[in-house]
Amino acid sequence: MGVPRTILLCLFGAVFCLTASQARQCYNFQHIYFGPFDLNGMKFHNVSCPHGCSEAVLSLDTGYRASVTMVQKGCWTGPPTGRMLSDDHALPPDYSVVRGCVTDLCNTDLMTHDSIPNLSPAPNPPTLSGLQCYACLGIHPEDCTPEKSRRVHCHQDQSVCFQGNGKMTVGNFSVPVYIRTCHRPSCTIKGTSSPWTNIDLQGSCCEGHLCNRDSVTQSFTTAAATAPSQAALVMAPLLVVSLLLGTVGGPLTPLP
């Protein structure tokens, strides 16, 4: 005997209502900042999310007071668990923080630049290497021409100049980046993986005052100079100096 149509409709309605009751209202926002950000007082749009809310801040810095920071709030799209490693000595310096939560409009913890540490600290001890390099960071090649770049005195052991390009990604939010700054003689970029965020960066180093004035749009797939002492190629994912909000205050809120 077939199931009466009225019963089928009731069962379908029950499943629909159950699914709807599990959805969460989350704030939805994404923006790129070229300095400190402050979202207090800002009105966000809401979005319905089936698996909870998320918020993330990802920042890349020259180490000399120039940064690109991505802020994203919305639905949780990452895995329920995952480790993000950190290295305080990575160059160029960067940082990310990701938070997931499961109550309505709960993605409001990461609201100001205080969410991340100072990525341009003064050298300690306050010594310089004696080298000058161009320093810039932007999302368009014209943001990082030598004419628009600052001339900085490199800190301590940073005795070569770096130039490169890459991409910053938080979830499905991605932007290109172009950078010039100081680096260590090893010109090594440490890499790590993250389930939520990533910075892929490639570039090369050179020796000599203000030597990093070549094009930042070039493809750094081979050595930039025939003499290894003049340029060292680096092509690896930039270390995402990452810290889950839960690492500080407890485990990340699990999501279904």
pLDDT for position 172: 85
Q: Same structural domain for residues 30 and 100?
A: yes
Q: Is the CB of residue 34 less than 8 Å from the CB of residue 103? A: no
Verify that 230 and 156 share a domain, yes or no. yes
Shared domain check, 34 and 56: yes
Per-residue b or e along 10-25, where b marks 16 or more CB atoms closer than 10 Å to that residue's CB: eeeeeeeeeeeeeebe
Count of domains forming the chain = 2
Nearest-angstrom CA–CA distance, 150 and 153: 10
Longest Cα separation, the chain: 89
Q: Distance from CA of residue 213 to its chain's centroid? A: 25
d(C-alpha 252, C-alpha 242), whole Å:
14
Residues 91 and 132 in one domain: no
Q: What six digits make up the tokens of 14?
A: 């029950």
- Supply 148's token pair: 């628009």
Domain of 199 in residue numbering reads as 128-237
In a domain, 81, yes or no: yes
pLDDT for the residue numbered 79: 74
CATH code where residue 198 lies:
2.10.60.10
Residue 18 forms part of a structural domain: no
Predicted local distance difference test score (pLDDT) of residue 48: 97
Amino acid identity, position 183: H
The answer as to whether 4 is a domain residue is: no
Q: Which of 171, 167, 181, 165 is nearest to 221 (CA)?
A: 165
Q: Do both 101 and 178 map to the same domain?
A: no
Place of tokens 């020796």: 207
User: CA gyration radius for the chain?
Assistant: 22
- Statement to judge: residues 95 and 57 lie in one domain: yes
- My answer on whether 165 and 91 are in the same domain is no
pTM of the entire predicted model:
0.78
Same domain, 95 and 193: no
Tens-digit pLDDT profile for the chain (256 aa)?
444 443 333 333 433 333 445 789 999 999 999 999 999 999 999 999 998 999 999 999 999 999 999 999 999 887 766 777 667 778 898 888 889 999 999 999 999 999 999 999 988 889 999 999 999 999 999 999 999 999 999 999 999 999 999 999 988 899 999 999 999 999 987 644 577 888 888 999 999 999 999 999 999 853 333 233 333 333 333 333 333 333 322 233 334 4
Residues 113 and 178 reside in one and the same domain: no
Regarding whether 215 and 147 lie in a shared domain, the answer is yes
Q: Per-residue pLDDT tens for 133-167? A: 999 999 999 999 999 999 999 999 999 999 999 99
SS3 track for the chain? CCCCHHHHHHHHHHHHHHHHHHCEEEEEEEEEECCCCECCCCCCEEEEECCCEEEEEEEEECCCCCEEEEEEEEECCCCCCCCCCCCCCCCCCEEEEEEEECCCCCCCCCCEHHHCCCCCCCCCCCCEEEEEEEEEEECCHHHHCHHHCEEEEEECCCCEEEEEEEEEEECCEEEEEEEEEEECCCCCCCCCCCCCEEEEEEEEEECCCCCCCCCCCCCCCCCCCCCCCCEEEEEEEECCCECCHHHHHCCCCCCC
| 223/142 same-domain check | yes
Q: What is the pLDDT of residue 171?
A: 84
